[in-house]
Amino acid sequence: MDLFNLLKPKKTLFLIFLVLSSFICISTIQATAVYFTEHGPVTKEVLKFIRSSVQYLFVSALDVSHPEITNELLKLKKQGVDVRVISEKPVFNLPSKTDFSKGLHHVKFMVNEHGVIFGSANFSMSGLETGLNDLVFFPQSYSARFRDFFLNLWNNGTVIKVNDFLVSPIDKVEENVVKLLLKARRRIWVCVYAFSDINILAVLKYKASNGVDVRIITDKWFNTSRLSNVPLESAKIVSSKMLHHKFILVDNILLTGSTNYTESGFHRNVEMIWITKDRNIVSNYEAIFKMLYYGKW
C-alpha cells in the first residue's frame, strides 16, 4: 500500500500538526509504584488498594468483571463505603453507570482518599492476570483531581480536564503526541495494543528516515487494521497473549495510560495519557519493552 495515498485524506491536517506549537504537559510528580503483568498477576495489589478505602472508592474502566474485584467492591459497599462504577456495561449489585461519550468509556482507574491506580488494565481477568498490562499507583495528591473527574461524569455526564494528564476527547491529544514524537532525537519505542492512526505512522516513518531508533511492539489485532499492509520496519507482533499496553518511550520521556493510538482513541473515547520524565518509572518501562521486543518474558 502506498503511504502517500493512505495519508491523502488527512495530509492537510498532518501538515498543520507539523507547524503547530502547543504546550505539552510533562508531570513532575512521582508515582509511588508501577506493576506489570509480565511479572505475574496484579490482582493482589488492586485488592489491597480497594481494602484501603474508608470513605469512597470510584472505579472507571471499560470492563469491571474480575470476580475477586467485584466481590471486594460488594463487601466495601456493605461496609458503608461510597462505591461507584462507570464502565461500558453495568456491574450488578453495585451503583454503576455506562459511558457518556460517542465512543467507548475506556479510561481505567480507581480512586479513593489514599491515591489512584491508573493504567492500561481493565479490572478483569484479562486486565489483571492473563493479558499484558501495566498499572501505575499515584499518591494521595492525585485523589482530588480523579475524584472530580469521576463525579463530573457521574453527576453531569461531562468530561473535564485533569491536571498532568491529556484527556480525550477534550484535549488536543493527537496533536500533543505528534509534537512530542517530532522532537525525538534518539528513540521512539512504541508498545500499544491497537495502532491504526495514520498521522502517528507518518511521523514514525519520518523520524526513522532521519536516524531515530523507531521500534514498534503491538498485538495481533494489528493484522486486521487498516495499516496492516504498510511495511513496518523493526516491528514485533505479539500473538501468544493479548498485548494490551499503551505506552511510548520518546528519548527519556514516557507516555502511558488507556489510549490506543487510533482515531477513536484520540477523538471519541474517554481516555487519559500521563507523560513523565520520572527516571525510575521510565527505566521500568524500558525494561518491559526490551523483554517483549527480544522475547525474553
Supply the residues annotated as catalytic: 244, 246, 251
CA–CA dist 248, 150 (Å, integer):
26
Residue whose entry in the numeric block shows the C-alpha cell 506489570: 36
Taking CA atoms, 149 is separated from 177, 246, 273, in Å, by: 22, 21, 14
Q: Which helix (H) or strand (E) holds 33?
A: strand 33-36
Q: How far apart are CA 196 and CA 222, in angstroms?
A: 8
Give one word for 276, left, alpha or beta, with left for phi > 0 and alpha for psi -120 to 50.
beta
What is the distance between the alpha carbons of residues 14 and 234, in angstroms, rounded to a whole number?
24
* CB 149, CB 89: distance < 8 Å: no
- Give kind and range of the element (H or E) at residue 57: strand 56-60
Helix extents (H) in the chain: 3-7, 11-19, 43-51, 67-78, 125, 143-156, 173-182, 198-209, 263-267, 279-293
| Contact yes or no for 285/192 (Cβ under 8 A) | no
54 contacts 113 by C-beta, under 8 angstroms: yes
Category of 295 on φ-ψ map: left (φ > 0), alpha (ψ -120 to 50) or beta:
left
Contact call for residues 105 and 98 (beta carbons, < 8 A): yes
The length of the chain, given as a count of residues = 297
